[in-house]
Amino acid sequence: MLPLINIFGHDFSVYAICACVGILVALFMAMKAAKRLKVDDNDILSLGLFAAIGIFLGGHLLYALTNFHLIIEFFQKIDQINSFGLLINCLAIIFGGQVFYGGLIGGLIAGFIYLKKTKKDTSLYSFIIAPFIPLFHAFGRIGCFLGGCCYGVEWEHGITYHNDPIEIANGVPRLPIQLIEAGCNFILFGVLYYLQRKGKCKKTLLYIYLLSYSIIRFIDEFFRGDAYRGFIGPVSTSQFISIGIFIFATIMIIRTKKKK
């Protein structure tokens, strides 16, 4: 659709622009929520910056793992790499993409470490940030749609790409699954934000998000047409992770309710 946009003579990724807009909007609203809950909004900013490191590393790492054959090929041909520039190019191919689940898990781990090291209340901060994760993600999925990645299965009433960098996506009408998932994320944001405003589910709001999104993503994957994202047996990598996150979130909700 529109993978790149030219600004002042320089090409910028539309996906990256949408993701940055999503980050800024989500962070702004999270800081507003922190003030409402009498929490220093500077702590939310610090938490967001620390989590961003985990998001970056986790997203790229999981992308590499979903393309494990490239890692194997790299080590098989490592003796042919005779320059630093060629090494960088090879690593850019292996780690050059992002997978949302990797970023989510990496960001949550980094955020948890930050909160523990600074002796913050993890439940309170989880309650503050939970609604804004799907808000950020919704903007990212709009970027996916415009950029042409994460495209859907063939559908006669769908959207046809003509200049997608992934050539196999071009010339075939496809289900705009990216926009459908963006819509689901906006709805999920609305529900979680409503619960937050009402002061409900203070100990479990983040787990409710994880449980809800794992269901959305598991179903969503059946309508994806980009087979390169990786499979583990009959399910995609993201469906496999969704099952794990669903089980984890369910256990944590039950455990929290029992403690209460």
Find residue 160's DSSP bridge partners: 173
Over the stretch 131-143, which tens digit does the pLDDT of each residue have?
A: 999 999 999 999 9
Question: The tokens of 21 are what?
Answer: 């807009």
pLDDT at 115: 95
Spatial contact of 171 and 160, defined as CB atoms under 8 Å apart: yes
* pLDDT tens across the length of the chain (260 residues): 666 676 777 777 888 899 899 999 999 999 999 999 999 989 999 999 999 999 999 999 998 888 787 888 888 888 888 888 888 888 888 887 788 999 999 999 999 999 999 999 999 999 999 999 999 999 999 999 988 888 899 998 888 887 666 667 778 899 999 999 999 999 999 999 999 999 999 999 999 999 999 999 999 999 998 876 778 888 899 999 999 999 999 999 999 988 76
pLDDT at 160: 87
Q: Which helix (H) or strand (E) holds 254?
A: helix 237-259
What is residue 257's DSSP assignment? H
